[in-house]
Amino acid sequence: MGVGAGLVAGGCASVTGAAPAAGSGVANMKTAPLQTVRVGFIGVGARGSGHVGDYLKLDGVEVKAICDIHEPAAAAAKARAEKAGKPAPELYTKGPEDYRRMLERTDLDMVVIATPWELHAPQAVAAMKAGKHAFTEVPAALTVDECWELVDTSERTRRHCMMLENVCYGREELMVLNMCRMGVFGDLLHGEASYIHELRGQMNQVERGTGSWRTLHYAKRNGNLYPTHGLGPVAQYMSINRGDRFDYLSSVASPALGRAAFAKAKFPPDHKWNRIATWNCGDMNTTIVKTALGRSLMIQWDETSPRPYSRLNLIQGTKGTFAGFPNRLAIEGKTPNTHAWVEGDALKPYFEEFDHPLWKRMSEAAKGGGHGGMDFIMNWRIAYCLRNGEPLDQDVYDAASWSVIGPLSEKSVANRSASVDVPDFTRGRWKTTPPLGIVS
């Protein structure tokens, strides 16, 4: 259903002060079906190379071009294509701006961007302006202005801009979305989302790799720098941008101790990590959000502390609650007792009853895929939607409103946790855009 065009703009001006984009909305935007989806990649390091592997497996997809400033990474991706018996993609390795030369190609439908964070928005904007659908790794943008630029560009160019929030395609997340749509939890009240993942070891990547560039963000900034993994699914449960929206937030940070301690313990005194005078980013950030419908949401982020992995993945309604890590469920009239969780093996019948149709259809094919299969299902689904001219499951409004928690949490932390308004990137269309459906 193409509901984007013709909806009434809400009249909420861009916080950049610029006039709202002239284009109509892109929620549920359909584009002409593509018999073959021709893909280019910018950044094929740890993450991008995994995406290349997925797209090489997909029917009706051609991997045409690969750009990376690190020639060996690009060459490895090319070798992977050849090993898979596919035509060799053309390589673009002539420096940080060479992706623009790749974008001049007329035989690319979409571009997958898996570069360091600060490059996502500029590269996605350039891709859309060159007529390609843009698929960017998380977070999609680092500033409020960049979020608006993504929205404005997607609306003006009528190109998709999707953030690759793979966690939305996890088994539990899809099942809980299904349960929310079935009304199992009643009216939704509260959610909890996090990315708690001890990644101090990435600091061992000094010259290249994730640690070499992410570490500098922890030194400079202070907020929730990586909000979207836990948040994306919970935002979908709550139909954010499709019936509700984030209204305002407040954020608090713990002391920043873990990175400095790790540097001192693991590296010589004159090492570049030990020459960082101040580590600004609080090890644990806690941000609370109020939605337009009055629901509450807690988002946490900690990639530093010695603490077991969690995305929290909690949704609470008037009839019940699901919580993740470990999975737990309590539903009035369905589980034996709402004062105690159903967990472990006792959850099996609930998975059988509520597993999402997309998971049921794709879990076998996704076996062995990255992050428990969610990466493959996401990439399969993108190719499916483009080949069939279907709207994507995540749009530019999701990319902007999930990513903007980063810069807005920084603003709140810097101002004694003062409440900060979250822009309405949909310009009022959240009121009329239908919730994300269940794909059968």
Ligand X SMILES: NC(=O)c1ccc[n+]([C@@H]2O[C@H](COP(=O)([O-])OP(=O)(O)OC[C@H]3O[C@@H](n4cnc5c(N)ncnc54)[C@H](O)[C@@H]3O)[C@@H](O)[C@H]2O)c1
By beta-carbon proximity to ligand X, the closer residue of 29 and 235 is 235
Residue ranges in 52-111 that form contacts with ligand X under rule CB under 6 A: 67-70, 73, 96, 99
By beta-carbon proximity to ligand X, the closer residue of 44 and 422 is 44
Q: Compute how many residues bind ligand X; rule: CB under 6 A.
A: 26
CB 301 within 8 A of CB 224: yes
Give kind and range of the element (H or E) at residue 296: strand 296-302
By beta-carbon proximity to ligand X, the closer residue of 58 and 142 is 142
- Please report whether residue 46 would count as binding ligand X according to CB under 6 A: yes
DSSP lists the bridge partners of residue 288 as 250, 298
- Please report whether residue 137 would count as binding ligand X according to CB under 6 A: yes
Residue type present at position 139: P
Residue ranges in 160-219 that form contacts with ligand X under rule CB under 6 A: 164, 166, 209-210
Among 21, 29, 47, 125, binds ligand X (CB under 6 A): 47
Residue ranges in 329-388 that form contacts with ligand X under rule CB under 6 A: 371
Tokens of 105: 């190609």
- Residues contacting 225, CB < 8 A, separation 6+: 217, 218, 281, 285, 301, 406
Interface segment toward ligand X; rule CB under 6 A; list 1-9, 39-47, 244-252, 260-268: 39-47
Q: How far is the CB of 37 from ligand X (least distance, A)?
A: 20
Our CA angle for 258, 165, 171, nearest 5°, is: 100
Our CA angle for 261, 304, 314, nearest 5°, is: 155
By beta-carbon proximity to ligand X, the closer residue of 10 and 209 is 209
Q: How far is the CB of 6 from ligand X (least distance, A)?
A: 34
Buried b (16+ CB within 10 A) or exposed e, 184-196: bbeebbebbbbbb
CA atoms of 381 and 160, how far apart (whole Å): 14
Q: How far is the CB of 371 from ligand X (least distance, A)?
A: 6
- Which residue's C-beta sits nearest to ligand X? 45
Angle between helices 357-366 and 171-181 (to 10 degrees): 170
By beta-carbon proximity to ligand X, the closer residue of 124 and 329 is 124
Among 114, 125, 130, 162, binds ligand X (CB under 6 A): 114
Q: Which of 121, 101, 106, 128 is nearest to 26 (CA)?
A: 128
Among 4, 25, 40, 43, binds ligand X (CB under 6 A): 43
By beta-carbon proximity to ligand X, the closer residue of 321 and 409 is 409
By beta-carbon proximity to ligand X, the closer residue of 23 and 370 is 370
Neighbour count for residue 183 (Cβ, 10 Å): 11
- For ligand X, the binding residues (CB under 6 A) are 42-48, 67-70, 73, 96, 99, 114-117, 119, 137-138, 164, 166, 209-210, 371
